Amino acid sequence: MYKFFKLFTPKSYILPLHKRSGSVQLFILLALMTALVVIIASVHLSLFKTVDRWQSLIQYQASIEIPVLDEQGNTRSAAQVQQNIRRIKDFLKNTQASHDIEVMNTTQVAALLNPWLGDDGKILDNIDLPTIINFKLKASSVDDVKYISERITKIAPRARLQTHENWLDKFLAILHGVHILGVLIIIITMVSTIFVISSSVRARMNIYNEDLSLLHIMGARDRFILKQFITYLFSICVPACLLGYICASLILAAVSQLLLGAEIDFLPSFGLNAHQFITLMTVPFSIFALTMLIGSHTVLREMKKMP
């Protein structure tokens, strides 16, 4: 630590502030706080990117479930089921509110359930699976959804229209809560950083109180003494912020590789583009600026109390 500090120490540095206890602790705290804020900010950016992707995929998606059972609970014949499917499909093709229509038969629906119910082929023998028609709405209009729902109910009374709007709204509300929590953590971290810096500077001034008082009596200006503490904080803050940023980047890169290896599309990716990388670079610069500002303010305020 001392050898590294000497690289940033100019000849005008006369107070050995770095030689007493507390410098290593301040270094570690600044590095940890930088890493924490960078990770939280990166998670926020990744969530926003993922939410945009999910919204584009889900927002206008809709599906119609056509059950095999009729209103009395009796199983429809294959011809009746195919007739309902054909009539609903023709209606969707002719309406201007939908496009990209795709029919999933019972075999395809069963394939969706295989991870939970097994793929031994017995599922179709024990469960009357519905047919699902997936399509896209050209606009998320309440009137269009109501119109389509009414028409398919007339064709197949037990058919159900799902637009995923309720699920998407609840999911976005949860993400909004996560966003607020993350912002609160960042605010608490920055406030803690302010108290840590202020307390560290005051502790240094108390340790060297006699030296500072002597310099003050001999005519040393406050700006000269301030420069000693600015040099000290600079030598601590710059490598701490840099180390914190590097550690956070390595952690995010490792997590990103794990998620890519899992091949799970709906999880957020921590890969950053150029804009997001530049945005995260503002974190160590912000902590550095905050350290210099709070440190300078604390030194000048304490110097006014000296004789």
pLDDT at 244: 92
Other beta carbons less than 10 A from residue 26's beta carbon: 23
Secondary structure of 85-132 in HEC code, one letter for each residue:
HHHHHHHHHHCCCEEEEEEECHHHHHHHHHHHHCCCCCHHHHCCCCEE
**Residue 280 confidence (pLDDT):** 83
**Contact (CB, 8 A) for 161 and 152:** yes
One-letter amino acid for residue 71 of the chain: E
Q: Residue 265 in 3-state DSSP?
A: coil
Helix, strand or coil for residue 130? coil
pTM of the model: 0.67
Q: Is 138 helix (H, G, I), strand (E, B) or coil?
A: coil
Of the candidates 49, 90, 100, 117, the residue with the CA atom closest to the CA atom of residue 279 = 49
Chain centroid offset of residue 118 CA: 35
Per-residue pLDDT at 133 exceeds 90 = no
CB atoms within 10 A of CB 148: 22
pLDDT at residue 236, rounded to an integer: 86
Asked if residues 235 and 5 have their Cβ atoms less than 8 Å apart, the reply is: yes
3-class DSSP assignment, residue 16: coil
User: Do residues 236 and 26 make contact, with C-beta atoms less than 8 angstroms apart?
Assistant: yes
pLDDT exceeds cutoff 90 at 274: no
> Among residues 58, 62, 109, which one has the least CA distance to residue 81?
109
Residue 31: pLDDT band by 50, 70, 90 thresholds?
very high
108 has pLDDT over 90: no
pLDDT value, residue 141: 67
